[in-house]
Amino acid sequence: MKKYIYLTIQSSPYNNHHQHYSSSSHNSLPSIQYSDSFVWINIIAISSRRRRMSLLDNVLGILRVRVKRGVNLAVRDVSSSDPYVVLKLGRQKLKTKVVKKNVNPQWEEDLSFTVSDPNLPLTLIVYDHDFFSKDDKMGDAEIDLKPYIEALRMELSGLPDGTIISTIGPSRGNCLAEESYIRWINDRIVQNICLRLRNVERGEVEIELQWIDLPGSKGL
């Protein structure tokens, strides 16, 4: 008989995301909980007669993405749009709330992902919410996480607040609308990013990356 391992991440009242794993096992382990002011994680691990299987073996940590705001987004209704953002990392997919009738929406919403492969890009897609038809696409962008992961692996500490660790400039190979700075802020490494949306006539989205170490995980 199959039993299952579930990883549940909740980063805001608007989002619920579940990863689902299966294994042939019989005896369950106690659940493991980890929390901070932004992320709540509950892991239920299932043991096997032959071996104990840890869900965290391949997890490097938690990537928290703050979707801040959209700027001059495309109009998809009569005179405005009802935009929301979808973020994808590997098989994980989360979305923000809908902001009605606003092409300069303020989301200020945190979405959190487990990271196992630092080479996977983060994909961002903006949609216009419609009640009676398929939601219209309002552009997309791709974020290369490797520069941010490299900064995290430097294992920095005690830097003056606001110190710039790295700078990534806009180019044809990325979706940056302007220079992106990886900084030391409040004892964390943070990257602020302004994205120029592709496959649309106009629009930018501002996001912020932060990293959360997960006790018991593989780590960086």
Give me the residue spans of the domains in the chain.
3-59, 62-212
- What are the tokens at 42? 């509950």
First and final CA of the chain: distance in angstroms?
A: 35
pLDDT on residue 214: 85
- Lowest mean pLDDT of 3-7, 28-32, 53-57, 210-214, name the range: 28-32
- What are the tokens at 212? 């959360």
- Chain centroid to CA 34: 18
At 23-40, the pLDDT tens digits run 333 333 333 344 444 444
Residue 10 has pLDDT above 90, yes or no: no
pLDDT on residue 106: 97
At 51-85, the pLDDT tens digits run 334 567 789 999 999 999 999 999 988 889 999 99
pLDDT on residue 97: 97
Q: How far apart are CA 85 and CA 66, in angstroms?
A: 11
User: Is there a contact between 193 and 206 (Cβ–Cβ < 8 Å)?
Assistant: yes
pLDDT on residue 102: 95
User: Residue 86 — very low, low, confident or very high, per pLDDT cuts 50/70/90?
Assistant: very high
pLDDT on residue 79: 85
CATH code of 62-212, in short, is 2.60.40.150
Q: How far apart are CA 218 and CA 214, in angstroms?
A: 9
- What are the tokens at 188? 């964390």
